[in-house]
Amino acid sequence: MMQLFGTDGVRGTAGQPPLDEATVIRFGAALVQVLPHEGRGRLLVGRDTRESGPAIEQAIARGVRAMGSDILSAGVIPTPAVAYLTRTLGFDAGIVISASHNPYRDNGIKVFSGRGEKFDGRLEREIERLVFDPAAAIDVPEPTPVETIDGVAPYIEHARQVLPDAGPLGGCKIALDCANGATAAIAPRVFAALGFDVTTVGDAPDGRNINLACGSTHPEGLTALVTDGGYAMGAAFDGDGDRVILVDGRGCIVDGDAIMLLCARHLQQQGRLHRNTVVATVMSNIGLELALRDNGIGLVRCAVGDKYVMEELLARGLSLGGEQSGHIILSDFLFTGDGMATTLFVLRVMAESGRTLADLAAEFSSYPQTLVNVRVGAKPDLRDVPALAAVMANVERRLAGRGRLLVRYSGTEPLLRIMIEGEDQGQIQTWAEEIAEAARAHLP
């Protein structure tokens, strides 16, 4: 059976399987069938700014209606807003059409439960079974417009619970890079209404320029803007608004690891860091682990993907977790990554501590890290490729406990990711290339 779900929902090239019209219609129908609901069932859908979004939304709606359920659209809106609205407005599920930080030709589907949490593996497998079941015939209705709701206003009010006003930071200059994505029409309103002096870039989506040389995966332009313009900080969101990379007043990048450390220390000082423990993925730098330990804070590592971070937070009753890539979950506010809420919380830390972002971020010291990607045609178990396994074992020996090696397949792209941390940048880069060369030689 074909696998639909990766580490962050369904991903692919828009218009091609699994994001062709027929498969997406069956996805909508399957989703209704696996949901616990009373009566007809109500679902909410939102999307980012990709030109393929409306067609995918219509296909999902046809599948949902084929099963007798209702669906409403929040239009272009950040992913965390869909999670929040689903939970607070009584929807049985929320659907996001987005490929996050990927180029515009890609798209994807993420699903939230009625509690605003990403679907677990059991429900994903059941959806896959129904989508690819040849006996599951569907009487598909003709396309009709999807009824819309205004989800922006309630989401803005929710975001302002994180930081009700700018306080001592009133008039402070901040720069926002909205990635030509879902935050483009919302983020400037939120931050300006709080009293900040806001400049935005990446705020003119045209359906094809989402994440194009902008946003959280390309913060270089924002870095130059902040440095040259005398801004206190900058925030670069990704296409669907569930992650953020910050830039301090000196123009230095503040990634998810540094954000987690400064948030953890602040919550700890306020007695709000539940169980004095943070959740991060296996990709977080060893420097985060050591800094947390020095401050008496524990670290739980999990698989890559913010849904796995969320699962650990829920299972352990914790309040903070995230990824180096900028997905930060503050579970007192929402059980998914939220780029705007994270930025507002960091501004709150700055206001309450009286410190600059540069000062706060300086407490994090990152070990040298390198990440090399190798494109693959298939994803065999690495233990079944002896020549590659031998090269990896040799690198582990040479690290001698003074770094980390992590080799894994991407959950959303045909890539093998090779990550090494160690004391010398040049040496770990050489070792990563050795593994990459072996992978190219021995993987399909």
Catalytic positions, please? 100
Which uninterrupted H or E stretch holds 437? helix 425-442
**What phi-psi label fits residue 243: left (phi over 0), alpha (psi between -120 and 50 degrees) or beta?**
beta
Spell out a b/e string for 385-420, using b for 16 or more CB atoms within 10 Å of the CB, else e: beebbebbeebeeebeeebbbebbbbbbeebbbbbb
**Cα–Cα dist 127/30, whole Å:** 5
**Triad 164, 169, 172: Cα angle to 5°:** 120
DSSP assigned state of 147: P
Question: Where in 64-178 does DSSP place strands (E)?
Answer: 70-76, 93-97, 106-113, 173-177
78: cis peptide before it, omega within 30°? no
Phi, psi of 119 (to 5 degrees): -60, 145
256-269 vs 339-353: helix axis angle to the nearest 10? Answer: 50
**Cα–Cα dist 292/134, whole Å:** 51
Q: List residues bridging with 247 in a β-sheet.
A: 234, 253
**CA distances from residue 425 to 4, 109, 288, 369, 422 in whole angstroms, order as listed:** 37, 37, 18, 7, 7
**Cα–Cα dist 413/249, whole Å:** 34
Can you read off the two tokens belonging to residue 367?
A: 């070990």
**Cα–Cα dist 216/238, whole Å:** 5
Phi, psi of 111 (to 5 degrees): -130, 135
